[in-house]
Amino acid sequence: MKLLLRFSSEMSKKPLIAEIILETGAKINIDRADVEAVGGETVLDVPDEKYEKVVALFRSKGIEPILLPTPILLDEAKCLHCGACVSVCPTEVFGFEHDWRLRFDAEKCIQCGVCITACPFFAISLMEGI
């Protein structure tokens, strides 16, 4: 499962993810990490069986993780299957079906946001979490 973490600059100085990996034994993959002076944002891929434990531990350390059931949303009514998103995505979320219609595999998305600006028809948006 994908989790989005947003943290302050103070929090970013702490090895929270390393602590959680050690404490839970979860093989967490860091899909994306953007860290700036004022704070940061990270997308983690957490094994399903460790999800609840990982979320509870983040909460106990002062971070509220946001579940991303699907990191991106595609508005199929707006998509004209032009393919502009296919080449820019670093994780090959997009491709074409045999009939040249767009297919996408949202599970591979790391929420980098590149496809949002690449799509000329504003068909893609990032899920903000629920």
Q: What is the DSSP letter of 65?
A: -
Site membership for ligand SF4, residue 84 (CB under 6 A): yes
Q: Which of 4, 20, 55, 119 binds ligand SF4 (CB under 6 A)?
A: 119
Assess contact for 104 and 74: CB atoms under 8 A: yes
Please tell me the distance from the alpha carbon of residue 13 to that of residue 85, in angstroms, as a whole number. Answer: 35
Q: Which of 20, 54, 63, 123 binds ligand SF4 (CB under 6 A)?
A: 123
Minimal distance in Å, beta carbon 109 to ligand SF4? 3
Distance CA 21, CA 26 (A): 5
> How near is the Cβ of 52 to ligand SF4 at its closest, in Å?
25
Determine if 4 is a binding residue for ligand SF4 (CB under 6 A). Answer: no
Q: Does 5 engage in binding with ligand SF4 (CB under 6 A)?
A: no
Under rule CB under 6 A, residue 21 binds ligand SF4: no
Sort strands 94-96 and 102-104 into parallel, antiparallel or unpaired: antiparallel
CB within 8 Å of 122: residues ≥ 6 apart: 75, 78
97-116 positions binding ligand SF4, by CB under 6 A: 102, 109-115
Look at the alpha carbons of 72, 77, 80, 81 in this order and tell me if their dihedral is positive or negative: positive
Residues in contact with ligand SF4 by the rule CB under 6 A = 71-72, 74, 79-85, 88-91, 93, 102, 109-115, 118-119, 121, 123-124
